[in-house]
Amino acid sequence: MLLLVGLGNPGKAYAGNRHNIGFMALDAIARACNAPPFRKKFQGETSEARLGLERAILLKPETYMNESGRSVAEAARFHKIALGDIVVLHDELDLAPGKLRVKVGGGNAGHNGLRSIAAHMGGDFKRVRLGIGHPGDKNLVHSYVLSDFAKAERPWVEVLCGAVAQNVDLLARGDDSLFQTKVHLAMEAAGFAS
């Protein structure tokens, strides 16, 4: 069983924020898999889905980004899910908008959600890095990630989240390279390749 975690902040005020692209991608996965409605559990919202042959718990922590690890640790303990079976979808400043990379472990690059999960669980979980671009000045990062995607950006966000959802079974079976390729090809086909 996998624990598939989308990172973001709860509430309508944050729903369209760049920081919430992890929630957006997880919602797209839930829709594509016809998952039952999310319900409150583990200090977050959870559902379940079948990703190819794998069963997955879908989790959106509601502890706010900086405390995401509390929710993730609680769900992992309850379901006895090993660190290697945790997949976290999150926003990535160091990737161009619409780019995606998968990696296991590594640093947190100042991402407080990843830092919190690593503090509670250890850092060797899989990360699906969803590129949102960088504002160009580190002093602008906080306001940038907490601002909504511009209207002109929403089409690539929808295509990216849709491509993640359509190919998530590859991620679930550990074929990270093919997953990345399929998402890239979907972005390219929609005219968003750079």
| Residue ranges with strand state E in the chain | 2-6, 39-41, 44-51, 54-61, 86-92, 100-104, 126-131
* Residue % of the chain over a pLDDT of 70: 99
The pLDDT, as a whole number, for residue 52 is 86
pLDDT at 108 over 90: no
Residue 194 has pLDDT above 60, yes or no: no
pLDDT score for 140 = 95
Which pLDDT band, with edges at 50, 70 and 90, does 26 fall under?
very high
pTM exceeds 0.75, yes or no: yes
Instruction: Compute CA 66 distance to the chain's CA centroid, rounded to the nearest angstrom.
Output: 15
Catalytic residue among 19, 90, 111, 184: 19
How far apart CA 147 and CA 169 sit, in angstroms, is 31
Q: pLDDT digit string (tens) for 126-183?
A: 999 999 999 999 999 999 999 999 999 999 999 999 999 999 999 999 999 999 999 9
| Annotation says 19 is catalytic | yes
What CATH number belongs to 2-189? Answer: 3.40.50.1470
